Amino acid sequence: MTAWILRASLLMGTLVSGAEVAQWNVFETSYESAKAYTNAFMDIEVDVIFKQGEKQWKVPAFWAGGGKWTVRFAPPAQGMYTYRVECTDKANAGLNGKEQTLSVAAYKGDNPLLKHGFLRVSADKRHFAYADGTPFFWLGDTWWKGLCGRITWEGFQELTADRKAKGFNVVQIIGGGPFPDEPLFDERWKNEGGMPYEKDFERLNPAYFDYADRRIRHLVENGIVPAMVGGWGWNTSCISNEKIGGRERWFYRHWRYLIARYGAYPVIWIVAGEMRHPYLNELTKYVRENDPYQHLMTMHPPGVPELQSGRKVVADEALVDFDFLQTAHNEWASAPITVSQVTMSYSKTPPMPVVNGEVTYEWHKNQSRHDLQRFMFWTCMLNGAAGHTYGAGGIWQMNTEKVHGSTTYETIPWHVAMHYPGSAQLGLGKKLLEEYPWWRFEPHPEWVEPHSTTLLEPHAEWYDNHQKWAELRGRWDLPYAAGIPGEVRFVYIPGNNDYQLTAPIVMNLEPGVNYRAFLFDPTWGKRIDLGPVVKSAPSPKRPVASVVTKPFEGHAKPLLFADTFAGADASAWKDYGTPSQRKGGCLVGGKGLVTILEKISETNLMASVEASSDAEAGVILRFQDPDNYLVALYSPTMKAIYLHDRKNGVWGDQLGHVAVPTIGPKIRLTAAACGSSAALVMTDGVKSCHTPVVEVNNVASGKAGVWVYQIGERQEFGKFELSRASFGQAAVEQTSAGVPKTGDEYRPPQLPSPQDWVLVLERVK
């Protein structure tokens, strides 16, 4: 038994003095019931109330077999506590007792999980921290089936030692509930103690959890946080709703058991994996209500386009503490959607930490090598993620030479997959970032040129279409930058197949700040010193990244057309997508709406429309057909405005992307296209924002209209106006020069080889 767990056999009604435990360590004690129950796991509930002054913790106890009930408590503060047991069966004298005492002293060891306290969300809502405020860098590994007997106790210790040495500090693991990709009560679920439950899920087997205990405890002893999943959702759906739909039935009782058994450890709760049940909100609330420590909690989302974000799975985002993503197992086709999902999650308000919890495991389905693992880690981290989770084919389901999870994926044993190079390389990346105050890093795409601007809302059209993803290559495999202005800059440079990989240009260096640069090889960890940063003059060849003045104030020329949508006559308009209707002085429509004013077709037009900010809203210009037009839009998901230049059915880049953190419920969009230039202005009546003037390829004559793509169930457009375009003179003069007005540049030397690199600029004190 480990030194930091205290067990005490207590007789009810006896005051025990001298019981001691260290802060944040596990105090464990058991109670005996002389009264027998048909099914103790389901028939009664036992809690132990711990008190210190005015503070109180109601801690569930777990049935340990026979008449034995055990409680585990991790005191969050030093000093004296009292505690007493109580049971829903008030007539059971053995489980209702008098107060006893517990003395809590300071922890004197060096395990960070016990030294700093349980994890929480940081004050800035962007990363994780221990209870004492020390930042926590999440580097996770995926051991979904790590409590089963496919990996022996000796093997579990070996894998733990390997991951600890590489810098991993989170393990995602299923806590006795249904596994993915295996039938209910499959024999492969067993560990040394047997199955976790009997086949009706009504009777629990404590022996299974006895053997699970030492594995969970071993992770914690090695500084690794167990991120425990209640069970796999689509597998749980095989159980009838009568058994899981009420609080007294299995899935609720299972979660109460996990909280009782493992809540005193520094754990993270993942309520379910890939679950989409109607009662999920209620279950999540139940976990929150019964956890006395309020551990970090999230949801593992289904791997489907519309629900790849954990915060989208629950109806109330406030129920989860951080956004947990699953961004597909489609090898390099997963790259654009991964970058997009992380960026969009980071941009949402209110903010919460984001972790990509499942993405294209290394050698899963015999693909996704270590170069892709590095790409996923670095692009997620430099786009604002609070951490990253790795996975390896063979480990996530704990394959052996003879027994594995599913022949449809891979048969590689875990002890072979343990040595895939990606795991070590991600550890090198974490080690480098931890040399700096990484928790203060923010994404800065404007620091590097060229840089990727492609963001995509996931939807079925793209999800498994590798060809369409391939068409986007060159928009997402460009450099990514993040850091702290005036202190440190990180630039991730993805590799390619060119013999000469061109280094990006670092933009907008701060006046008076001296940097020194080095290249970091993310494969081996080697550093190449580049010396002091020598600034160069801005390049005259690149377009302006932004404009200072608003490109236009509104309709400066006489209106060609206006419509308040109050009348019944809609003959001037034509629907090219989902049907629209006039209702209550608005043009009303939903996802897929493309409604065009048919009577006017010109090249240089300005159009404006009123809309609601809770759904996508766009203004169309230069519409030739549904596959060719310009659209200037506001996205409530990304909290941003930008333009798309749609050509031959393919969406272009997000031109002029500008973040809009807060906006009122009603907005007015005004878009204009003049020659090869276009821009968008948005206002909510109090404040306004605008894109820069951007260059577009679509310069043909076309019609104007309104647009909703896929965000929001309903949009209500009001007061549409159309005139010939007129841009402000200041904006035209600034963009025509084609030269940035401020900011110095750094041009690194030629990169040594066409692999990926990390360029670091650190301030010289």
Distance CA 631, CA 653 (A): 12
pLDDT, tens only, 533-571: 987 766 554 443 333 467 888 898 999 999 999 876 788
Under a CB-based contact definition with an 8 Å cutoff, are residues 547 and 740 in contact? no
Task: List, in sequence order, every beta strand (DSSP E) within 220-288.
Answer: 225-229, 268-273
Q: Token pair 């043009």 is at which residue?
A: 587
d(CA 735, CA 309): 38
- Contact between 224 and 164 under an 8 Å Cβ cutoff? The reply is yes
Structure tokens belonging to residue 192:
């040394």
Residue ranges of E strands in 510-616: 515-520, 527-532, 535-536, 559-563, 573-575, 581-583, 586-589, 593-602, 605-612
Burial (Cβ within 10 Å: 0-12, 13-18, ≥19) of residue 14: exposed
Structure tokens given for 415: 């002890």
Residue of 303, 269, 478 lying closest to 383 (CA atoms):
478
User: Alpha-carbon distance 476 to 333, whole Å?
Assistant: 11
The order of strands in the sheet holding 26-32 is 5-9, 26-32, 68-73, 62-65
pTM of the full predicted structure?
0.78
Query: Angle CA(254)–CA(194)–CA(160) in degrees, nearest 5?
Result: 80
Alpha helices (runs of H) in 295-420, residue ranges in sequence order = 310-313, 334-347, 370-382, 414-417
Nearest to 589 by CA among 575, 610, 600, 608: 575
Q: Which amino acid is at 75?
A: P
Within 427-579, strands assigned E span 442-443, 448-449, 480-484, 488-493, 505-509, 515-520, 527-532, 535-536, 559-563, 573-575
Q: How many CA atoms lie within 13 A of 715 on its CB side?
A: 34
SS3 234: helix
| Residue among 482, 473, 393 at smallest CA distance from 429 | 482
Helix (H, G, I), strand (E, B) or coil at 293: coil
Strands 688-690 and 666-674: unpaired
Backbone angles phi, psi at 79, to 5 degrees: 120, -165
Using only C-alpha atoms, the chain has a radius of gyration, in whole angstroms, of 29
> Which phi and psi (to 5°) does residue 154 adopt?
-65, -40
User: Which regions in the chain score pLDDT beneath 50?
Assistant: 1-4, 7-18, 238-248, 541-548, 729-743
Residue 624, Cβ density class (10 Å: 0-12 exposed, 13-18 middle, ≥19 buried): middle
pLDDT value of position 374: 97
Q: Helix, strand, coil proportions of the chain in percent (round to 5)?
A: 20, 35, 45
Instruction: Measure the CA–CA gap between 223 and 219, rounded to whole angstroms.
Output: 7
**Is 84 in contact with 99 (CB distance < 8 Å)?**
yes
Q: Are 122 and 135 in contact (CB under 8 A)?
A: yes
Cross-strand pairs, 130:
none
Cα–Cα dist 51/7, whole Å: 19
Number of residues written out for the chain: 765
Q: Which residues pair with 138 in a beta bridge?
A: 387
End-to-end CA distance of the chain: 49
How far apart are alpha carbons 723 and 87 in whole angstroms?
A: 75
pLDDT tens-digit map of 172-204: 999 999 998 888 889 999 999 999 998 878 899
Cα gap 183→204, rounded to integer Å? 18
Cα angle: 617, vertex 382, 133; to 5 degrees: 105
